């Protein structure tokens, strides 16, 4: 029986946030990594994810749809975290694979090779030849040795072992001063001859923002998209509100002086409602009725600008940024031209984009229809969004 431990307990400070929770082509890194293992069909003993205590809640949320066996809190360093993960694995597993949560591009072939090797020889560690010549240096950065490159390998994960070997190794060194940066080192310290298997140059550990760019290109290529192919998406929104007395007229967050105002559960900002539906539509996130039901008293009189901020955060969470938007307000009266610039600036601020990325225009309907008769105001919006690279 094979079980796996995915270690995601680092804080990823080099990238500003916990890098494994960051979206990669719209899917959190840890979700991609966990899926690679769960969907490989190689782990009948389950997959355990180890994360820091502070990330437990976020980790449970993002992995809700991934069939991991357990999510357990890690320790003060990688070695301790792996040991805690191993102890959470099914005790009847006789093969244990250990993998970095920040290596989402691992392939089934790479995982399988490590398992086969571990079955035959007790260990199988993914590794690749080095492209760069490596120098050993002293404390001053002076070269003291140049090892022969042909004999050097960069080791990756998974590092897979007979369960007895790696349990013994971790148990022995858990209480000691000895700290290893990978699990193969512990097996070496136990006197075991570690076997290497073919890793993959694309099985990179995501450490820097540049790694994320590279990973994005790999994912696009694997999904049949060329690196240059656009990941832009478009959405459309439409809304109507009735004009009544004793209500303020708010359009694109701007108060427009008029004898009538729009009737609605929220502030009835018809233009921002159309815009939110366009944004949600572009991201395939439904519509504002789903996110802000008008039966919910929480949204009574709501500032639509605040709702728009929430929509922008939803898009951000799915890995999208706004490219540009175009809003049309269909309104016979009042004249809106004096307010258009303020509307653009206001919308741009909510979307975190330049004013140049926001267009607002107003039109009448030649007195035809409900807008023309002054009974209500309608609005159309289109939004273009793109994947963050």
Residues near Mg ion (CB under 5 A) are 239, 273
Q: How far apart are CA 71 and CA 47, in angstroms?
A: 9
Question: Which residue number, 88 or 270, has a Cβ lying nearer to Mg ion?
Answer: 270
Closest distance between Mg ion and the C-beta of residue 115, in Å?
Answer: 55
Q: How far apart are CA 313 and CA 299, in angstroms?
A: 18
Place of tokens 């040991």: 83
Token code pair at residue 373: 């008769």
Closest distance between Mg ion and the C-beta of residue 246, in Å?
Answer: 19
Closest distance between Mg ion and the C-beta of residue 264, in Å?
Answer: 6
Closest distance between Mg ion and the C-beta of residue 163, in Å?
Answer: 59
Token code pair at residue 260: 């009538």
Question: Which residue number, 28 or 237, has a Cβ lying nearer to Mg ion?
Answer: 237
Question: Which residue number, 233 or 265, has a Cβ lying nearer to Mg ion?
Answer: 265
- DSSP assignment of 247-303: ---EETTEE---S-EE-SSS---HHHHHHHHHHHHHTT---HHHHS-TT-GGGTT--
Collapse the DSSP code of 142 into the 3-class scheme (helix H, G, I; strand E, B; otherwise coil) and give the result.
coil
Closest distance between Mg ion and the C-beta of residue 277, in Å?
Answer: 9
Question: Which residue number, 4 or 268, has a Cβ lying nearer to Mg ion?
Answer: 268
Instruction: Provide the β-strand partners of residue 362.
Output: 329
Question: Which residue number, 66 or 272, has a Cβ lying nearer to Mg ion?
Answer: 272
> 166 vs 63, 72, 101, 118, 192, CA distance in Å?
27, 19, 19, 11, 10
Q: How far apart are CA 304 and CA 355, in angstroms?
A: 19
Closest distance between Mg ion and the C-beta of residue 389, in Å?
Answer: 33
Is the distance from CB of 23 to CB of 216 less than 8 angstroms? no
Question: Which residue number, 62 or 272, has a Cβ lying nearer to Mg ion?
Answer: 272
Residue nearest to Mg ion (CB): 273
Question: Which residue number, 195 or 273, has a Cβ lying nearer to Mg ion?
Answer: 273
Q: How far apart are CA 239 and CA 254, in angstroms?
A: 17
Closest distance between Mg ion and the C-beta of residue 317, in Å?
Answer: 23
Minimal CA–CA distance to 118: which of 162, 80, 159? 162
């Amino acid at each position: 029986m094979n079980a796996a431990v995915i270690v995601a307990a680092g804080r990823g400070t080099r990238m500003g946030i916990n890098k494994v929770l960051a979206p990669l082509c719209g899917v959190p890194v840890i979700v991609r990594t966990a899926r690679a293992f769960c969907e490989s069909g190689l782990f009948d003993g389950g997959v355990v994810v180890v994360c820091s205590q502070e990330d437990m809640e976020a980790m449970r949320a993002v992995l809700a749809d991934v069939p991991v066996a357990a999510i357990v809190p890690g320790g003060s360093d990688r070695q301790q975290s792996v040991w805690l993960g191993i102890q959470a694995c099914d005790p009847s597993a006789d093969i244990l694979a250990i993998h970095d949560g920040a290596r989402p591009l691992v392939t089934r072939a790479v995982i399988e090779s490590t398992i086969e090797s571990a079955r035959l020889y007790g260990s199988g560690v993914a590794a690749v030849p080095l492209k760069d010549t490596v120098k050993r240096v002293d404390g001053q950065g002076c070269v003291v040795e140049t090892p022969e490159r042909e004999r050097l390998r960069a080791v990756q994960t998974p590092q897979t072992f007979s369960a007895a070997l790696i349990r013994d190794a971790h148990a022995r060194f858990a209480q000691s001063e000895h700290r290893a940066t990978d699990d193969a080192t512990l097996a070496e310290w136990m006197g075991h001859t570690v076997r290497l298997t073919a890793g993959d140059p694309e099985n990179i550990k995501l450490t820097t923002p540049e790694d994320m760019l590279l990973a994005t290109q790999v994912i696009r290529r694997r999904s049949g998209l060329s690196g240059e192919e656009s990941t832009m998406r478009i959405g459309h929104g439409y809304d109507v509100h009735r004009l009544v007395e004793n209500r303020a007229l708010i359009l694109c967050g701007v108060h427009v002086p008029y004898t009538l105002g729009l009737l609605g559960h929220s502030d009835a900002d018809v233009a921002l409602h159309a815009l939110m539906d366009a944004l949600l539509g572009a991201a395939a996130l439904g519509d504002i009725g789903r996110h802000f039901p008008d039966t919910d008293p929480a949204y009574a009189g709501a500032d639509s600008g605040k709702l728009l901020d929430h929509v922008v955060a939803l898009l951000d969470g799915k890995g999208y940024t706004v490219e540009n938007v175009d809003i049309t307000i269909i309104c016979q009266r009042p004249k809106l031209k004096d307010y258009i610039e303020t509307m653009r600036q206001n919308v741009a601020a909510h979307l975190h984009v330049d004013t140049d990325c926001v267009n607002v225009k107003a039109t009448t309907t030649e007195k035809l229809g409900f807008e023309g008769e002054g009974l209500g105001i309608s609005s159309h919006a289109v939004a273009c969004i793109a994947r963050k690279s």
